[in-house]
Chains A and B, each alone.
Chain A
Amino acid sequence: DTEVTQTPKHLVMGMTNKKSLKCEQHMGHRAMYWYKQKAKKPPELMFVYSYEKLSINESVPSRFSPECPNSSLLNLHLHALQPEDSALYLCASSQVGGRIGNTIYFGEGSWLTVV
């Protein structure tokens, strides 16, 4: 079962709110990712976790705070966002290791609107 589940599907938040996006996978993957996608653009990497440790942070502003509580869960905590942060946030997961790399599976995404 190749499934990555994201909640909520839609989120509207004010610039002073604190909210979280959640992601779960049960494929035994030990790498998990957050990507951001603006309308009519390709996804852009934000964070990579490998074995529950942050391995890549693509210079993302600190108002985005990732967390990986265990090997199946990945959260993205949001605080003091700006309207330009409105986008589709995609979670993904894959196996770790292998020089040639592994298939990366994506969830359906969470649509975020900042008002």
Chain B
Amino acid sequence: SQQGEEDPQALSIQEGENATMNCSYKTSINNLQWYRQNSGRGLVHLILIRSNEREKHSGRLRVTLDTSKKSSSLLITASRAADTASYFCAYTGGTSYGKLTFGQGTILTVHP
């Protein structure tokens, strides 16, 4: 399977703590995107990192990309209860720029 892998599958933390999620993939990529999905809802785009970038920040989010290891990480700092959701990495590769391949997702629970 060309699907990405994420770890951990589930993460439970207290408010104020940092949460780190990791994503690994198997092919060369054009870019990698991170999404949040609240239970039963659609996907909210968080951040896109291109294959020639190594790190990006957006508010409390920090994403890194290591193409030599075929891996990416999402760090959420100072987490809040409202961050409770599933987080997916998704990437496009080769000439299939429109085809997103998703990781299995990490379920994050932030306890107040």
Q: Would you call A59 an interface residue if the criterion is a C-beta within 8 Å of the partner chain's C-beta atoms?
A: no
Provided the pairs A100-B51, A101-B30, A107-B42 are in contact, do residues A43 and B102 lie with their beta carbons within 8 angstroms? yes
B92 / chain A contacts, CB cutoff of 8 Å? 101
Asked whether, in the complex, the Cβ of B43 is within 8 Å of the Cβ of A43, the reply is: yes
Asked whether, in the complex, the Cβ of B30 is within 8 Å of the Cβ of A100, the reply is: yes
Asked whether, in the complex, the Cβ of A31 is within 8 Å of the Cβ of B88, the reply is: no
A104 / chain B contacts, CB cutoff of 8 Å? 33, 45, 90, 98, 100
- A102's partner among B35, B97, B103 (CB-CB below 8 A) is B97
A67 to B78, CA, bound (A): 44
> Which residues of B are at the interface with A, using a C-beta cutoff of 8 A?
3, 30-31, 33, 35, 40-45, 48, 50-52, 88, 90, 92, 96-100, 102-105
- Pairs A–B under 8 Å by Cβ, sample size 16: A2-B45, A4-B42, A31-B98, A41-B104, A42-B88, A42-B105, A43-B102, A88-B40, A90-B43, A96-B98, A97-B97, A98-B97, A103-B48, A104-B100, A106-B43, A111-B40
What 8 pairs across the A-B complex have the smallest Cβ distances? Answer: A42-B102, A108-B42, A106-B43, A101-B30, A101-B31, A48-B98, A101-B97, A101-B92
